[in-house]
Amino acid sequence: MSFLELKDVSKSYGTGAAEVQALCAVNLSVAQGSLVAIMGPSGSGKSTLLTIAGSLEEPTTGEVLIDGRALSSMSRNDKARLRRRTVGYVFQDFNLLAGLTAVENVALPLELDGVASRHATRTAGALLADLGLGGRGGHYPDELSGGERQRVAIARAIVGDRSLLLADEPSGALDSLNGEAVMRLILRACRSGVTAVVVTHDAQLASWADRVVFIRDGRIVDQTVPPPTPESLLEDLPARGR
């Protein structure tokens, strides 16, 4: 069953001669618990696709459905609640609040949603520990490495059982092993039921996805077929001894 669906979504900015078509009749369906990468160059429309999928922007035409509900049928309050409770965002530059510690950053979405501070802090601390950052909760963002900051940002995006994770170039300027750690966390979240869409120009990042969708000039032009399971692949290679 698809958790996120874009139906014939188009988006244009400006009017007349200055009109720019950012997305053109995009159809995309993302199954619950799967990780889909949208791969394309700068200016291909991939970030616009992500902001529309996350209800941060409205499409010019077309429809977005999250968990079967059309965003166009929701009130402003409903959408705000959806953004607080269901959707988590991860950006290239982490967007952590500098004046809050790691654990306070992660607890923030819960507190904004009315969860008592003590409970929110406990939940955030447990999640950070689960992501291998148990000892770093009291540190401020500028006391953390780039890889750690992005892991905190992922924790903030999935805290409180949010079920849709939208990430824009999440490994940004990280080196390849830290980028791998970030994708491993996102994939792990998906294996526990979170649905994730990652937009990137980076094939290494995209290769972590269950499906890679290629976007060019605002249109989806192609996609990969689902990769074989690790077991079927290992049969193709000589058996690995221990």
C-alpha to C-alpha distance for 109 and 112, rounded to whole angstroms: 5
Task: Report in angstroms the alpha-carbon separations of 41 from 35, 167, 199, 202.
Answer: 20, 16, 10, 9
CB of 218 to other proteins, least distance (A): 14
CB of 68 to other proteins, least distance (A): 29
Q: Which is nearer to other proteins, 60 or 224 (CB)?
A: 224
For residue 165, report the phi and psi dihedrals to the nearest 5 degrees.
-110, 125
CB of 184 to other proteins, least distance (A): 7
Residues interacting with other proteins, by CB under 8 A? Answer: 39, 41, 180, 184, 187, 201, 203-204, 206-209, 212, 214, 216, 221-225, 227-230, 233-234, 237-241
Q: Which is nearer to other proteins, 3 or 208 (CB)?
A: 208
Cα–Cα–Cα angle for 27, 35, 6, rounded to 5 degrees: 20
Q: Which is nearer to other proteins, 36 or 87 (CB)?
A: 36
CB of 47 to other proteins, least distance (A): 17
Nearest of 110, 182, 120 to residue 145 by alpha carbon: 182
Determine contact, residues 102/132, Cβ cutoff 8 Å: no
**Tokens 């199954």 sit at which residue?**
31
- Give buried/exposed letters for 57-92 (b at 16+ CB in 10 A, else e): eebeebebbbeeeebeeeeeeebeebbbebbbbbbb
Q: Which is nearer to other proteins, 117 or 176 (CB)?
A: 176
CB of 193 to other proteins, least distance (A): 17
CB of 58 to other proteins, least distance (A): 29
Amino acid at 236: D
Nearest of 48, 87, 90 to residue 71 by alpha carbon: 87
Q: Which is nearer to other proteins, 24 or 100 (CB)?
A: 24
Q: How would you classify the pairing of strands 211-216 and 219-223?
A: antiparallel
Q: Which is nearer to other proteins, 101 or 195 (CB)?
A: 195
